[in-house]
C-alpha cells in the first residue's frame, strides 16, 4: 500500500485542464499548438508521478508543471514537418526522404547487432569501409569506393590524400598545388568555399582561366613540378549562361595528373543536365566525389569512387576516421543503392518519385486537398493553381518542374504561415501573390491529413 505522504502528493497533482488554464498557457498553445502543449503537460505529470512513487517529496503546482512543459516543448528538437514548399531537396527540411526499404534497413541496423566491422567469412575484424563498395562499383564502373559523412568531407579527404601520397620534389619554399578553374570556385551550403577546403588539405590553390571561360590550355600553362592534381567542380548550385567555355574531365585526364571530379549531386542515371557519376569515372577521373542525400535520394553521405590506388590512400589518411560514416548511414545507403541496381529507384526512392510523377497524377490530390481545406477553413478562399516546383539542395538551379498548388487566401498570408508552423505537425508552405501556396508535388503519403489537421487546429472556423 502507498504511504500516506505519497498519496497526498499524488492527489495534489494538478489536472491537465488546470495547467492549460494557467495564464502562460495560451501563448504556448499559440506557438506550439494546444494538442502539443497538452501532450507535454501529460508527460510532465507522468514524470511527476514516477518521482513521487520513487520517494521524492516535491509538491507540483499547475504553474511549475506548465514551466516544465514549456522546457520540454522548447527542447523537442527534430520534428516531423510537412514540406508543401515545392522544393524537393529542401536543405532546411532535411533534403531527401528515405525509401521504405532504407528505413527498414536503418531500423534493423539500429535495433540489432551487425557485421559493421566484422568479417563473417574469416571471423576476424573487418572494415566498415567495405560496405556498399560492391554496389558502388557495379553502378559507377569504378575500381573502388569509399563512404564518409558528407560530400565536403569526401572532397577534403580526397585532396588531402592526394597531397600526402604524391611524390616528386617541390620548388624551394613552395607548397603542393591543386589547379582549379576560376569559374568553379563555388561556395556550398553553410558558407563553405572550395578555396577554404583546398587550404585545409595543405595545398596551394592555383586558379586558372576566367569566370566564364577556362580552356585546356589554361590548365597546361599552369602545370609545374609543384602541381599535384586538378580539381574539377560541377557548379551545381548556379549556372553561367552565354559566352562560356570549360574543359571537360576527359580533356583534363589527358594531362597526366590525378583529376578529382566533384560531381556534387550524385546523379547515377541520366538526369536533366547533371553530370553522371559513371561518366566522370569513364572519362578518366582518378576520383569522383558526390553526395548521398541529393539526387541519389539516400542518407547524408559523401561518396568517393575511382582508382583503387587513390581510394586506398583516402582510407589510410588520418582524416578518414574523423569523417567516417556510421552504421545507420551505411545501412540506408546500401538499401538505396539496391533500388538503383534493381531498376526500381524511380518508383521506390521518394526523391526520384517526386521528380517523375506527372502533373496529371497530382491533380486528383490537389483537388481532394482543396475540398477538405474548404470545409475546415471557413471564410478562406481555397483553389488550385498551376505551380512550379524546384529541385533545391544546391542542384539543378534553373530547372523548373511543373506542379500544382492549393492556395489559401482571405487572411494575412504571413500570419497564416506562422499559425501553421505552430501546429502539432508543422506545415511549411510558401507565400506568393499575397496567398499561402501548398505545393502538392512535395507532399508525402498522409501529408494531406496533417495539413487539414493543422489548418483545423490553428485556423478552424475562425475564417479570414
> Which residues are within 8 A (CB) of 267 and not within 5 positions of it... i.e. 6 or more apart?
274, 275, 276, 277, 295, 296
Contact, 231 vs 159, CB < 8 A? yes
Q: What is the DSSP letter of 58?
A: -
Q: What is the pLDDT of residue 201?
A: 79
Q: pLDDT tens digit string along 250-278? A: 999 999 999 999 988 878 887 767 788 99
Closest CA to 307 of 144, 138, 135, 139: 144
Contact, 451 vs 371, CB < 8 A? no
367-386 in b/e form (b: 16+ CB < 10 A) is: eebbebbeebbeebebebbe
Q: What is the pLDDT of residue 464?
A: 46
> Which residues are within 8 A (CB) of 350 and not within 5 positions of it... i.e. 6 or more apart?
96, 97, 98, 99, 297, 444
Class of domain 100-348: alpha beta
User: What is the percentage of the chain residues whose pLDDT exceeds 70?
Assistant: 92
Contact, 35 vs 422, CB < 8 A? no
CATH of domain 82-94+353-458: 3.90.1150.180
Angle at 412 between CA 408 and CA 414, to 5 degrees: 90
Q: pLDDT tens digit string along 24-38? A: 888 888 777 788 889
Q: pLDDT tens digit string along 42-81? A: 999 999 999 888 888 778 899 999 999 988 887 656 788 9
How many residues does this entry show for the chain? 464
| Spatial distance between the Cα atoms of 294 and 366, rounded to a whole number of angstroms | 26
> Which residues are within 8 A (CB) of 238 and not within 5 positions of it... i.e. 6 or more apart?
186, 397
Q: pLDDT tens digit string along 409-423? A: 876 788 888 889 878
Read off the pLDDT band of 243 (50, 70, 90): low
Q: What is the pLDDT of residue 442?
A: 96
Closest CA to 398 of 388, 390, 409, 386: 390
Once rounded to an integer, what is the mean pLDDT over residues 341-346? 94
Q: Do 82-94+353-458 and 100-348 fold alike per CATH?
A: no
31, three cell numbers: 506557438
Query: For the chain, which residues make up each domain, given as ranges?
Result: 4-74, 82-94+353-458, 100-348
| Spatial distance between the Cα atoms of 376 and 369, rounded to a whole number of angstroms | 11
pLDDT averaged over every residue in the chain: 88
Q: Give how far Cα 128 sits from Cα of 310, 380, 421, Å.
A: 18, 55, 40
Amino acid at each position: 500500500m502507498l504511504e500516506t505522504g505519497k498519496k497526498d502528493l499524488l492527489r495534489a497533482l494538478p489536472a491537465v485542464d488546470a495547467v492549460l488554464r494557467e495564464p502562460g498557457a495560451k501563448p504556448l498553445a499559440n506557438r506550439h499548438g494546444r494538442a502539443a502543449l497538452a501532450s507535454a503537460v501529460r508527460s510532465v505529470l507522468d514524470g511527476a508521478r514516477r518521482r513521487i512513487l520513487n520517494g521524492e517529496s516535491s509538491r507540483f503546482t499547475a504553474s511549475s508543471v506548465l514551466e516544465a512543459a514549456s522546457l520540454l516543448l522548447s527542447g523537442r528538437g527534430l520534428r516531423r514537418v510537412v514540406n508543401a514548399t515545392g522544393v524537393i531537396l529542401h536543405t532546411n527540411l532535411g533534403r531527401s526522404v528515405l525509401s521504405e526499404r532504407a528505413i527498414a534497413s536503418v531500423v534493423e541496423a539500429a535495433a540489432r547487432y551487425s557485421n559493421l566491422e566484422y568479417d563473417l567469412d574469416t571471423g576476424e575484424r573487418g572494415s566498415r569501409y567495405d560496405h556498399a563498395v560492391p554496389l558502388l562499383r557495379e553502378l559507377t564502373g569504378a575500381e573502388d569506393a569509399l563512404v564518409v559523412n558528407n560530400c565536403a568531407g569526401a572532397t577534403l579527404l580526397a585532396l588531402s590524400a592526394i597531397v600526402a601520397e604524391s611524390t616528386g620534389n617541390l620548388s624551394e619554399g613552395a607548397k603542393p598545388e591543386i589547379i582549379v578553374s576560376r569559374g568553379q570556385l563555388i561556395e556550398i551550403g553553410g558558407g563553405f568555399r572550395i578555396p577554404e577546403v583546398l587550404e585545409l588539405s595543405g595545398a596551394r590553390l592555383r586558379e586558372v582561366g576566367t569566370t566564364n571561360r577556362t580552356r585546356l590550355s589554361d590548365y597546361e600553362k599552369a602545370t609545374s613540378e609543384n602541381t599535384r592534381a586538378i580539381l574539377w567542380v560541377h557548379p551545381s548550385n548556379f549556372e553561367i549562361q552565354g559566352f562560356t567555355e570549360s574543359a571537360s574531365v576527359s580533356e583534363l585526364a589527358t594531362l597526366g595528373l590525378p583529376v578529382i571530379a566533384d560531381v556534387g549531386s550524385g546523379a547515377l542515371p541520366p538526369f536533366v543536365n547533371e553530370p553522371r557519376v559513371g561518366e566522370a569515372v569513364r572519362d578518366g577521373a582518378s576520383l569522383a566525389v558526390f553526395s548521398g542525400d541529393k539526387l541519389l535520394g539516400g542518407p547524408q553521405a559523401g561518396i568517393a569512387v575511382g582508382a583503387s590506388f587513390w581510394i586506398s590512400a583516402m582510407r589510410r589518411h588520418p582524416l578518414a576516421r574523423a569523417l567516417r560514416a556510421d552504421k545507420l548511414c551505411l545501412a540506408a545507403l546500401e538499401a538505396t543503392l539496391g533500388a538503383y541496381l534493381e531498376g526500381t529507384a524511380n518508383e521506390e526512392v521518394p526523391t526520384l518519385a517526386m521528380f517523375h510523377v506527372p502533373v496529371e497524377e497530382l491533380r486528383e490530390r490537389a483537388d481532394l486537398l482543396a475540398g477538405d481545406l474548404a470545409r475546415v477553413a471557413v471564410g478562406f478562399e481555397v483553389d488550385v493553381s498551376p505551380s512550379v516546383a524546384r529541385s533545391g539542395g544546391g542542384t539543378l538551379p534553373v530547372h523548373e518542374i511543373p506542379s500544382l498548388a492549393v492556395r489559401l487566401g482571405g487572411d494575412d498570408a504571413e500570419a497564416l504561415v506562422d499559425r501553421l508552423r505552430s501546429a502539432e505537425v508543422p506545415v511549411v508552405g510558401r507565400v506568393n501573390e499575397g496567398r499561402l501556396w501548398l505545393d502538392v508535388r512535395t507532399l508525402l503519403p498522409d501529408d494531406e491529413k496533417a495539413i487539414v489537421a493543422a489548418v483545423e487546429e490553428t485556423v478552424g472556423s475562425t475564417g479570414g
